[in-house]
A and B are shown apart, each in its own frame.
Chain A
């Protein structure tokens, strides 16, 4: 019988000696070059971290390869970041350049520090989820190829976080990212009465609809949908296999901007929709990559130093954001969901 309830391995057994010795005694850090952090402790000890981009969806061959590198350069220690980058932890500064050369040989990019575009936090998409409106890994690859120069450099006005969620459940922190790509549906679920009867608790299915569009249908022992109340969130399909919502011709992506989680300077903010729909166009999603690049570069050439996306937009005003980016404003962007009132401008102060 396997041991149960033993919990995760103790992190203390996984820390490199230099971290054990200087735990909680770090004094400051600097970024000597993009992708490399130098942490200095009270005792003067220096730890170098080399940050490397990863596709997140990786094979065990990849893991063994980074283990080999960690054995050669870092005495067998490494970590991953909260954006799924890999970090090699070195106590010997002489090994930093050889490690970076080895990484270059293997095509692994060094970067993701400071005023850069770090890795895109993303989800399962068509690889492994049953409710997606778009793929995750494919768009991430297409966008990161397109914006690659910003991963390994620090030439942006501030950091820029891109998040991707493949449906409106928004797994991850897409709802609080500088730029968020979110999979959206645009057609109502197709009700399969037989599947609803077999596998669904109807009251929970009715209750899961945020707009109250689902009504019981006692005659068929199933449900009906009030068509003009449904905004295609797909939560009913999460509850019941009889409410199929995926639609290859009409699913796609929305773009939201201006979210952040840190408290620095301004309070954390939600991302706001600026493009309601772009088509799924695999394998390269050119409409999405163009839209993201255009927003990023407009921000980069207009924002002041240190100004994140939301801070730039709040300073110039949303009306100016749409003018400068050339993105058309439409009725789709005016909120009609819960809490909509707090988004309305209850003031005569604005710009033309």
Chain B
């Protein structure tokens, strides 16, 4: 292989943070497409612009999503990048791997693709970065044999993801990993065969710390919570005091609802249970002393999305508390998803996210038609204008 000159990229091999250029060069030593990718990126650095065209439709037999077609606009200069498609592979819940599984992905990708990957894409999938159209089906066949399946892309249920949950976190209020796997398996058809107005993302976070950023980047955000009161171990509180923690300043004064009282004489911390909004701050700072309540479940929020088209939305509450139990196969959650998707499919415009549809037609209509009771937890505050749509069956005739 000829030595390609990449002075700008070479600059990014310096410095202490691990270099993606070094990674690209490792792949380039074995694969001509990866070698050309270095050249293409150097060209982008010179011209300060991208060199990828709109994707065509490529995929595997039986699926409508999971592969993103990508073609360079300068194929004469970089013939191995004429086709350079991305494959999304559905990650295991919580991104837990054993090395056998990880090595099998490496072997398959060495055989069929560029040797470059993203661990992971923002939605959660393993990204296999760069292969040709003719390799897609054999690559999928080998992945399938090794126990992997493709993730979502296009107007489908995208690959759900979850935080580390009960596998390693004392804060988990439901089994995020099991919910994620169960629900991914339940909706394989919706994930692999796009059939909706636009994309739909689900993310599972075990508590309100929201370590998957579900409220910002999933249409349906499932955030673990509890309905009773936090539990405080007074001996452990005293231990924190002995270690020098200023409980009044660091804990009580930062409590958003001022629900915590500290008695400096007795060194006891008490909570006004009904005032707590379960923000997690005190639990985060005193994990040995404070625990979530016992009656656990999740808050369901809907509508999170990025800017296009109607501005960015953060998901908002549609069900304040729902049990999330593997024993009943997450039945209540699935029942709700079914109703929401049917309504969106019926009413949504092309490329209209669920949040935008609700914004267009109003929460009132959404709640009535999906069958959810309106509750004050859905709003920060009630409307300030008097322009109310009254259903005709509620007025005197």
Contacts and interface: CB of A to CB of B under 8 A. Distances in A.
A15 interface: yes
Interface stretch (B40-48, B327-335, B338-346, B363-371): B40-48
B208 A80 contact: no
Contacts of A5: 149, 188-189, 192
Given A54-B18, A127-B41, A145-B16, A283 B9 contact: yes
B117 A261 contact: no
B141 A248 contact: no
Given A76-B99, A138-B12, A58 B50 contact: no
Interface stretch (A164-172, A219-227, A292-300): A164-172
Given A49-B168, A79-B95, A270-B312, A129 B50 contact: yes
A249 B48 contact: yes
B62 interface: yes
A339 interface: yes
A63 B106 contact: yes
B254 interface: yes
A67 B177 contact: no
A307 B12 CA distance: 33
What interface size band does chain A fall in? 35 or more
B280 A264 contact: yes
A235 interface: yes
B230 interface: no
Contact of A2 (B45, B50, B141, B311): B141
Contacts of A127: 37, 41, 129
Contacts of B172: 24
A265 to B, nearest CB: 5
Interface string B14-57: 11111111011011000000100100010011011111111100
Interface string A317-350: 0000000000000000000011100000000000
Contacts of B100: 76
Contacts of B149: 4-8
Contacts of A9: 92, 101, 147-148
Interface string B120-143: 101010000110000000001100
Given A6-B149, A82-B212, A235-B309, A62 B350 contact: no
A56 interface: yes
Contacts of B189: 5
Given A23-B167, A175-B216, A210 B309 contact: yes
A278 to B, nearest CB: 13
A176 B92 contact: no
Contacts of B308: 168-169, 210, 233, 235, 238
A126 B306 contact: no
Given A79-B96, A270-B312, A62 B52 contact: no
Interface stretch (B83-91, B267-275, B386-394): B83-91
B48 A306 contact: no
Given A4-B62, A7-B188, A171-B122, A282 B213 contact: no
Interface string A109-127: 1000000000001010111
Interface string B303-335: 000111111101000000000000000000000
Interface string B176-213: 01000100110011001000000000000000111111
Interface in B247-291: 250, 254-256, 277-281, 284-285, 287-288
Contacts of B94: 11, 79
Contacts of A27: 170, 288
B232 interface: no
Given A11-B92, A14-B92, A145-B15, A338 B116 contact: no
20 contacts: A4-B192, A8-B93, A15-B96, A19-B167, A26-B168, A53-B18, A59-B117, A64-B103, A70-B99, A76-B99, A78-B97, A109-B17, A121-B122, A137-B20, A140-B20, A176-B213, A247-B49, A263-B277, A264-B280, A264-B281
Given A14-B101, A67-B103, A176-B213, 13 more contacts: A6-B147, A11-B177, A24-B166, A27-B288, A59-B115, A61-B26, A76-B99, A81-B95, A128-B52, A148-B15, A210-B308, A261-B216, A263-B209
